[in-house]
Amino acid sequence: MSSSPPSPSSPLTGSCFCGAITYALSSPPVLRAYCHCTQCQRLTGCPFIHTLHFPSSAFSWTHDAPVHTFINPHRPWKTRTRCQVCGVTIASHNSKTDRVSVWGSHLARDDSGCILHWEDVRPTAHMFYGTRLLEIDDNLGKWEGYEGKSDRIA
């Protein structure tokens, strides 16, 4: 696992399932949490996901393959990008915050399967825990919305 935080000279990298769509992130995330919101649940089919938010300026595409974008009709300020080959959602741009979010499961891993830069991307909380599909017994804070910006549930 890497010991230096993400930077322009040592970015975090990630890709879709098939590897056709790739990206780089040149700074540490500004938010790193397990998300239990209904949007993420419905997009992934999973009870929660590891989400990371970055300033838009830290995000860059590193591929030549075409992508498909769609605007969330329930949140028109969010534009999601999907791979046209495997269909995986890769990133979401929020025009209100000018941040890009990616899912931790898409980040590059070492030969043993561990996410690179883990200490820099490890979740610090559970957000939107009020719509959880299962109880999580860990020491992370559980928040109604965003960590530190909403009511703490547990």
Q: Would you say residue 3 lies in a domain?
A: no
Residue 29 belongs to domain with CATH number: 2.170.150.70
Total-model pTM: 0.91
For residue 53, give its domain range: 12-142
Q: Would you say residue 57 lies in a domain?
A: yes
Q: Would you say residue 77 lies in a domain?
A: yes
DSSP state of 96: T
> How confident is residue 148, by pLDDT bands cut at 50, 70 and 90?
very high
Number of domains in the chain: 1
Contact predicate 54/30, CB 8 Å: yes
Q: Would you say residue 152 lies in a domain?
A: no
> How confident is residue 5, by pLDDT bands cut at 50, 70 and 90?
confident
Determine how many CB atoms are found less than 10 A away from the CB of residue 110. 11
Q: Would you say residue 150 lies in a domain?
A: no
List, for residues 125-137, the tens digit of each pLDDT value.
999 999 999 999 9
Q: Would you say residue 5 lies in a domain?
A: no
